[in-house]
Structure 1
Amino acid sequence: MKALVPTGDPAEPVVLADVPEPTPRAGEVLVKVEAFSVNRGETFRLEMPVPGERPGKDVAGLVVQPAADGSGPAGITRVVGHPMAGGWAEFVAVPTDALAVLPDSVSAVRGAALPLAGITALRLLRAAGPLPGRRVLLTGASGGVGHYVTELAAAAGAEVTAVTRDAERGARLLELGAAEVVHDPADARGPYDVVLESTGGAALPVALARLARRGTLIWFGQASRTPAKLDFFDFFSGPESAVIRHFHYLDPRSGFGDDLATLVRLTAQGRLHPEIGRVADWAHTATTLTDLRDRRIRGKAVLTLP
């Protein structure tokens, strides 16, 4: 079968190659991939690829071989899945607890845009606790996770201030429910009960300073790729006794299936709107990856297979 494999070349991070078709384990189905999405974090891993590792975590397609242990959907079922590797290919083996059935009302393109960013958003907001009436500051809001967080948090009753440097992207975040959009964390008017911080670097201490006393900052990314520096004594001038929490979406012990089903249901009901900035044939994956890395794509990028 054909699959995209890493090259280690930043200008062309992946190329199509012939690889063996995967052999599913007992609790896995074989999916014929119709569409997959790429994530900015994956572009960073491609800079120093692990030999033999094949990327790809977000897929939508058709089950062509059910799981041998009887779990999961039957054959010829449309699904969205979150395998931990190998999804940028014609076929991929996906654990049955990392799948959800995709109804006809949700296209493969929209389905493929859901897994990593959507699961991250759901679990991030659960970590933040009850949201009705709370003020939330979200940095890095124009990425795939940011759009989902904005819409989900606003629907849950939070007053969301979204940070994005792009005015056009800010307008879309307002449509999704943000109460306010600012172009720099320094422009945000606190205090906020919750800060969701994804950029690191100089932005983190600035965002922290907008946190309310005993508030919570959840640090879930470092898109700037620059370490943050914090001064203990700065807490006394604002967010005294605040909590800084590290977050990783893989931390929960449960599988991805239930969260994927929730994301699919909300999308089918018109309550969640995947923000897709580019759809292209998978022959253009390398260019799409470099554009995503360099922030030339708003929201999600989805590649389709013939």
Structure 2
Amino acid sequence: MRTLIPTGDPRQPVAFADEPEPVPAPDEALVEVEAFAVNRGETFLLERPVPGWRPGKDVAGVVVRAAADGSGPAVGTRVVGHPPAGGWAERVAVPTRSLAVLPGAVDAVRAAALPLAGLTALRLLRAAGAVAGRRLLVTGASGGVGHYLVELAAGAEITAVTATPRRGARLLELGAAEVVHDVADARGPFDLVLESVGGAVLPVALARLAAGGTLIWFGQASRTPVALDFFDFFAGPDNATIRHFHYEGAPYADDLATLVRLVAGGRLHPEVGRVAGWGSTADALVDLRERRVRGRAVLTVGSDR
């Protein structure tokens, strides 16, 4: 079986190799991969890959072997999946609790763009509670998660922070009320801040909270540690709250099915900035790491270009 494995070389992060086909556990289905998405977090992990690790958490394809325990979809079913690893391959074993069936209206490319970013956005907003009528600030909004947040947070008054006017234009189309290119230009106060950049951005965003507001910290895309002064924090918005969030936890199947249903119904639009054959995966990873891709990058298996 052909698969992509880490090289440790930042200029060419992955290369093709031949490996045995995975042997599914009783609660796993074997999926023939049609398309997979790459994530910026994976580009960081590829800088110093753990021996034996095989990247790939966002896949779409067809079940070629159903789970032995009888759970999950039957052979021949089109699915989207979120395996723990190994998805950049011709076939991958996926727990049935991490699979959702795809209707004919949702193609493999858009489906592959859903799992990690879509699950993060959906669960983040669920953790935040009702957002309708609230003022919401989203940092790092031009990435895959940011696009989904803007669409899913219907009813909120959203200010999106993104680097360029070109990226901001799409966020306005998706429902943002305002786009700024520096968090310092965001006109608060905000009831809720969804923060994924870290570094110098978080303290500035925190200062724009309304009294009693909440900042949920779910990423550090800048890769720069946050320096938060204790006295500045307590001199800021009264009763402000900082919360940490990570999307992992409960089984993914139901939430994946929700995302698929929203796409099929035209209520959610995966922002796919690049589609290419999986022979171009290394280039896509470098461009994603260097922020040359807007939204998601999806690679199609079976086509090297």
Give the TM-score band, short-chain normalised.
Answer: over 0.9
Match of 1:79 in 2: 79
Partner of 1:291: 287
Aligned to 1:50: 50
Q: Percent identity of the aligned residues?
A: 75
1:140 aligns to what?
A: 140
Inter-partner Cα distance in structure 2 for 1:238 and 1:269: 42
* Aligned 1:194-273 pairs, distance under 5 A: 194-250=192-248, 252=249, 254-273=250-269
Give the structure 2 partner of residue 275 of structure 1.
271
- Aligned residue for 2:262, secondary structure, equals helix
- Matched residue, 1:177: 175
Amino acid at match of 2:80: V
Cα RMSD for the two superposed structures: 0.7
- Alpha-carbon distance, 1:235 to partner: 2.9
Cα distance in 1 for residues equivalent to 2:271 and 2:132: 24
- Cα deviation 1:47-93 (Å, max 9, x = unaligned): 00010110000000000000000000000000000001000000000
Paired residue secondary structure (1:52): coil
Instruction: Answer with 90-99 or 237-246: which moved more.
Output: 237-246
Please say if residues 132 and 158 of structure 1, whose CA atoms lie closer than 8 Å, have aligned partners that are also in contact. yes
1:31 corresponding residue in structure 2: 31
- Deviation of 1:233 after TM superposition, in Å, equals 1.9
The TM-score, its normalising length taken from structure 2, stands at 0.98
The TM-score normalised by the length of structure 1 is 0.98
Q: CA deviation at 1:236?
A: 4.1
Alignment-derived partner of residue 189 in structure 2: 191
User: 1:238 and 1:25 mapped to 2: Cα distance?
Assistant: 52
What SS does structure 2 have at the residue aligned with 1:175? helix
Q: Give, as a single letter, the amino acid of the residue that structure 2 aligns with 1:55.
A: P
Q: What do the CA deviations read for 1:83-106 (whole angstroms, capped 9, x no partner)?
A: 010000000000000000001100
1:240, distance to aligned residue in structure 2 (A): 1.9
Deviation of residue 237 (structure 1)? 4.0
Aligned AA for 2:14? V
Q: Which residue of 2 aligns with 1:97?
A: 97
Work out the CA distance in 1 between the residues paired with 2:59 and 2:99.
10
Inter-partner Cα distance in structure 1 for 2:278 and 2:198: 31
SS of equivalent to 2:191:
strand
**1:253-298, Cα deviation, whole Å (9 max, x unpaired):** x200000000000000000000000000000000000000000000
Q: Deviations over 1:163-191 (max 9, x none)?
A: 00111110000000001000010000000
Gapped regions of structure 2 (runs ≥ 5): none
